[in-house]
């Protein structure tokens, strides 16, 4: 007795039953079976037991008691690539897909194929061959998907071909759904389409191109591409800007997107994405954040130290000029209590990310905040309340590190006050500013 005959026999009319014509009863059973198929995904332990069960029945030829629930997970696993032996089991399952009239069998095969799609792999090629023969018999929604995107049954170039189609759309996520992929970020084929889409996407040098790619990766209605694809999107978005500065509008938008979806690279504990992103992309974002941190520091300190507004205007211009020249590439802020309160107040008004990205200054000088910057191999420290400028070279022992949660001014301040690595803000910018530039040569 074949498996197909045994299962059909389960819905055969019962002798002596006159409550309904046999044909109607059989059709009703089929309708229920097809509308509510057995699960196709099971645990590894259950899958192993099903492999043993069906192997034993193949050997004995006894199919009594075997149901769809015993076979569907195996068909799914075969096409997904989770099982590839023994040969007789593979042959048996392939034959069932090839000959069965049961929609659930074909649906399980298609679902397994898409979930386990791997370019050119043995299991993907085998599943594609089976499905190509039965594509006209596939149930909905799979028949609709194959009709709209027949490329999906190409085991070699299917993903790239579908990606090429959605690349032509202004709304690629919508285009993916219109091709019949209801879950455009599901594992397997759809994920591979996403990778190809990002790889083949044109360099996003304009804001429109960047936003189109971002809408694909993180749609407004939630969800989106997985972590690996998200990092690929990050790298693509930043790729035009590693050696050049984007327009202010583009940089501001990119930085906000990065902080929202990737996280702040200065706070690695809050996001693991930066552990796998390239160092080049991380450095690009750190440099953009440096400018924001310098501006935020000057704004906050100007608000809490009002005696000499001209002094803070002068310092802002000097440090921002070094930043715009590409001399300063990183910056981090440590605020004293009053400055922290001012930063939080401003953040509540503006929601500007730089106003909530700072360390605490917990040292003995309770009215002093610090601006810690990197310029090549040097670390520079600027401070409020007559704090001297410090310039530490690469080999200076115990120089401060950037991006700590807290600092103490006494751990940084050098003595005596005429130490060659420090300078008072005296004599105007032509004096102390020129000294800083000489130190950085």
Mean pLDDT of the chain: 90
Residue whose structure tokens are 């034959």: 95
Proportion of the chain above pLDDT 90, given as a percent:
78
* Residues paired with residue 373 on neighbouring β-strands, in sequence order: 331, 380
Interval 71-85: pLDDT, tens: 999 999 999 999 998
Are residues 26 and 13 in contact, defined by beta-carbon separation less than 8 angstroms?
yes
Confidence band of 7 (pLDDT split at 50, 70, 90): very low
Alpha carbon distance 42, 44 (integer Å): 7
Interval 285-327: pLDDT, tens: 999 999 999 999 999 999 998 777 778 899 999 999 999 999 9
Range 151-163 average pLDDT: 97
Proportion of the chain above pLDDT 70, given as a percent:
91
Tell whether the model's pLDDT for residue 4 goes beyond 60. Answer: no
Out of 20-24, 43-47, 369-373, which region has the weakest mean confidence (pLDDT)? 20-24
Long-range pairs for 134-140: beta carbons < 8 A, 24 or more residues apart: 134/97, 134/98, 134/106, 134/109, 137/101, 137/106, 138/106, 138/107, 138/110, 139/34, 139/103, 139/104, 139/106, 139/107
Task: Name which residue leads in pLDDT, 21 or 427.
Answer: 427
Confidence band of 433 (pLDDT split at 50, 70, 90): very high
* Angle (nearest 5°) at CA 124 between 122 and 126: 70
Tell whether the model's pLDDT for residue 5 goes beyond 50. Answer: no
pLDDT score at 12: 44
Alpha carbon distance 422, 207 (integer Å): 43
Task: Name which residue leads in pLDDT, 212 or 32.
Answer: 212
Alpha carbon distance 65, 6 (integer Å): 8
Whether the predicted model's global pTM rises above the 0.75 cut: yes
pLDDT score at 289: 97
pLDDT score at 22: 52
Interval 224-275: pLDDT, tens: 888 889 999 999 999 999 999 999 999 999 999 999 999 999 987 777 899 9
pLDDT score at 175: 94
């Amino acid at each position: 007795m074949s498996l197909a005959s045994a299962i059909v026999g389960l819905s055969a009319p019962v002798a002596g039953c006159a409550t309904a014509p046999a044909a109607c009863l059989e059709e009703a059973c089929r309708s229920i079976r097809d509308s509510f198929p057995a699960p196709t995904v099971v645990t590894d332990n259950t899958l192993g037991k099903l492999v043993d069960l069906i192997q034993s029945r193949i050997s004995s030829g006894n199919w009594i008691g075997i149901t769809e629930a015993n076979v569907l997970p195996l068909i799914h696993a075969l096409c997904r690539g989770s099982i590839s032996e023994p040969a007789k089991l593979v042959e048996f399952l392939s034959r069932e897909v090839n000959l069965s009239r049961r929609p659930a069998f074909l649906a399980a095969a298609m679902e397994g194929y898409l979930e386990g799609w791997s370019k050119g792999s043995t299991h993907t090629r085998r599943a594609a061959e089976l499905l190509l023969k039965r594509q006209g018999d596939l149930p909905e929604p799979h028949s609709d998907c194959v009709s709209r995107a027949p490329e999906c049954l190409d085991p070699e170039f299917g993903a790239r071909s579908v990606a090429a189609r959605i690349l032509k759309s202004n709304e690629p996520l919508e285009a993916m759904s219109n091709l019949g992929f209801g879950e455009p970020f599901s594992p397997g084929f759809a994920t591979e389409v996403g990778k190809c889409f990002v790889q083949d996407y044109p360099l996003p040098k304009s804001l429109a191109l960047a936003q189109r790619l971002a809408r694909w990766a993180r749609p407004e209605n939630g969800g989106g591409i997985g972590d690996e694809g998200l990092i690929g999107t990050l790298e693509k978005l930043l790729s035009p800007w590693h050696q050049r500065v984007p327009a202010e509008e583009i940089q501001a938008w990119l930085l906000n997107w990065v902080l929202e979806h990737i996280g702040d690279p200065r706070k690695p504990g809050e996001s693991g994405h930066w552990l796998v992103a390239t160092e080049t992309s991380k450095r690009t974002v750190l440099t953009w954040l440096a400018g924001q941190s310098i501006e935020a520091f000057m704004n906050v300190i100007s608000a809490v130290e009002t005696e000499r507004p001209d002094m803070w205007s002068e310092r802002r211009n000097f440090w921002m000029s070094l930043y715009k020249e590409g001399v300063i590439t990183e910056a981090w802020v440590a605020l004293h209590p009053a400055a922290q309160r001012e930063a939080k107040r401003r953040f509540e008004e503006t929601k500007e990310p730089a106003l909530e990205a700072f360390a605490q200054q917990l040292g003995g000088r309770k009215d002093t905040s610090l601006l810690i910057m990197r310029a090549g191999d040097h670390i520079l420290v600027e401070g409020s309340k007559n704090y001297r400028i410090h310039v530490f070279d690469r080999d200076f022992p115990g120089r401060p590190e950037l991006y700590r949660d807290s600092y103490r001014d006494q751990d940084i301040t050098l003595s005596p006050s005429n130490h060659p690595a420090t300078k008072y803000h005296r004599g105007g910018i032509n004096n102390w500013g020129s000294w800083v530039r000489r130190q950085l040569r």
